[in-house]
A and B are shown apart, each in its own frame.
Chain A
C-alpha cells in the first residue's frame, strides 16, 4: 500500500509564488473527494483571501493503466477496455479504436453500419451533454435541472440497452462493423426520442437562459481567448466557445459525416456561459444529424465480409468448414494487423479524441496511445482560474467538462 506523508511547503517552491512561502497567501487543498471536482481531481489552490492566485491540478487518482493493459490483449479484448476510459462517451471510444484498426487493416465498413454508428455516436454525445448540463447546473445551484436531464438521459440509456443489452459499456461497435444489427424497435425508439427532445431542450433553456443567478455566475467567468485556445490545444466545445470553429466531423470527416447537413455552433466570448450555450446548440445539431442518418439509413449487412477480421454469422458455421475455422481462429488467437502506425481521430463530446496505434504485425497492439480531450482541457485550469473566486472555480471546472477517466487513463 502506498504510504502517505506530510510535505513541507519548501518542497512546493517550484509550484507556488513567493508570497505563499512567507505565509501571505494560503494553500488550500480541493479534492480528490470533493463534490465539485467531477470525480477524483485534486486541485491545490493558492488563495489570497477568496481570490485564486494559482491553481495546480494534481491528476492520476484514477490512473487505470489501460494503455499498458491493452498491449497484452488481442484487439477484440482490448476494445472492451476502451469503454471505460471516457465513461460518458463509451461508444465514441469504441468508434475511434475501431477507426484506427480499420484504417490500419484496410477494412471496409458497410454503409448501414456507418449510419448506425453515427446515430449511436450522436446519441452518446447527447447523453454526455445531458449529464454535463445536469451536474454543472448542480454546481451553480440549479438543483432541479439535474432531475430533468437525467430523465431524458434514461431514454438514451434504454436505447443503448435495446441494441446492445448494456446501458453504458456497450462494446457495440466492433472492428469491421457492429456486434449485430439493430432490433426492429430501434427506429421507433430513436424517432420518438428526437421528437420530444427539442421541446425538452427548450425547457432546460427556460430554466437557465434568463435566470439572473445563473447569468451572474457564468457570464465573464473563466474567459479563454481565441489565441489561448489555439495555444493550449483546446478542442471541442471549449475551443468553439472561444471562436475556433474546429470540429473533427467537418475537418476530417469519418463514418460518412460529410453527407449530413449540420452547423458548428461557435461563440466569441469564451466564458463559462458561452461554453454552456455552445453545448446546448450542439445538442440541437446532434438531433439534426440523427434525423438525417435515420432517414438515409440503408438496408444491408452491418459487418464487413472480410472473414479474416470479422467472425462469420452463426448460420454459416453449421454449413461451412471454412467459417468454422475462421470463427475458431478469431476467438482464440484473434486477427493480425499489418505492421505500421496510424493515428485516427473522432469528435468526442469533449473534443478531439485520437488513437495512435502501432502494430508489429501481431494480434495484439504493440503500443496504443489515446489523445484525450480532457487531458488537454485540464491544463487550462491554472489559466482560467487565476483572479477568480473559489465559488467561480467550481463553475469553471464544470464548464471545461472533464472526465477523470479520460484524463488519467
Chain B
C-alpha cells in the first residue's frame, strides 16, 4: 500500500536485486538441445504444439552447451556416454542447472546392468528429478516449474 502504490503509479517498482535477477533467470532459461533416448521424444512433445513449453520461456533450445543454462538429461546414460555428458556440463557457463528426466537418468530405471550409469547424479549435480518411464510432457513441465521455484529462492551470496 502507501508508498509502493504511489511509486507504482509513477512507473517505479521497488524490489530487491535478488528477486529481480532470480525472476529474469527463471523466465529465460535456455535448455540444451540434447536428447539421449526415449525421454527425448517426450521432451520434443513438450516443445511441440500441444504442450508448448515456450509458455515458460523455455522454447529456445540451444545446440551448443556454451549458450545454454539448463541441461535436461533425457534418457539413459551409458558408460560410453558418461564422459561426454560430463564434458558438456563443464562447457556450460554458470549459472547452470540440471534436470534428470526419467527413471534411467534418475536412478538407472529398469536397466540395472553393466552398461548404464545408475543415475546421472553420479557424474553431474542434479537439481530436479522427474520420474516416469518416460515422463509425460506435463511431468517435464512440472519438473521445470519446480526448478523455477528453486531458482527463485536462491540467495544473493550463493550466486554463481
Residues in chain A within 8 A of chain B (CB atoms): 1-4, 32-35, 39-40, 60-66, 68-69, 80-81, 84, 87-88, 131, 134-135, 146-148, 150-151, 153-154, 157, 167-169, 404-405, 408
Contact = CB atoms under 8 A, between A and B. Distances in A.
A62 B35 CA distance: 11
Contact of B81 (A62, A66, A80, A150): A62
A117 to B, nearest CB: 21
Which of B40, B110, B122 is most buried by chain A, counting CB atoms within 10 A of its CB? B110
B147 interface: no
Contacts of B112: 69
Which of B34, B49, B65 is most buried by chain A, counting CB atoms within 10 A of its CB? B49
28 contacts: A2-B82, A3-B83, A32-B81, A32-B84, A33-B88, A39-B37, A40-B81, A40-B84, A61-B80, A62-B36, A62-B37, A64-B111, A64-B113, A65-B113, A65-B116, A81-B110, A84-B37, A87-B41, A88-B41, A131-B44, A153-B45, A154-B45, A154-B48, A167-B42, A169-B38, A169-B133, A405-B37, A408-B78
A169 B39 CA distance: 11
Contacts of B41: 87-88, 131, 168
Chain B interface size band reads: 35 or more
A167 B38 CA distance: 11
Contacts of B45: 150, 153-154, 157
A1 B123 contact: yes
B148 interface: no
Contacts of A80: 110
Nearest to A147: B49
B78 A64 contact: yes
A233 to B, nearest CB: 25
Nearest to A409: B115
Interface in B18-61: 33-38, 40-42, 44-45, 48-50
Contacts of B65: 33
A84 B110 contact: yes
Nearest to A138: B44
A39 B123 CA distance: 20
A62 B78 contact: yes
A84 B78 contact: no
Nearest to B36: A40
A353 to B, nearest CB: 17
B143 interface: no
A147 B122 CA distance: 35
A133 B87 CA distance: 31
Nearest to B116: A64
B136 interface: yes
Contacts of A62: 36-37, 75-76, 78, 81
B81 A1 contact: no
B38 A1 contact: no
Which 3 pairs between the two chains have the least Cβ-Cβ distance?
A: A150-B48, A65-B115, A87-B38
B38 to A, nearest CB: 4
B145 interface: no
Contact of B48 (A1, A60, A146): A146
Interface in B107-125: 110-116, 122-123
Contacts of B88: 33
A327 to B, nearest CB: 23
Contacts of A84: 37-38, 76, 110-111
A1 B81 CA distance: 10
B13 interface: no
A148 B48 CA distance: 9
Interface in B63-91: 63, 65, 75-76, 78-84, 87-88
A32 B85 CA distance: 10
Contacts of B122: 1
A375 to B, nearest CB: 16
A3 B80 CA distance: 9
A84 B110 CA distance: 10
Contacts of A404: 37
Nearest to A169: B133
A39 B33 contact: no
Contacts of B80: 2, 60-61, 63
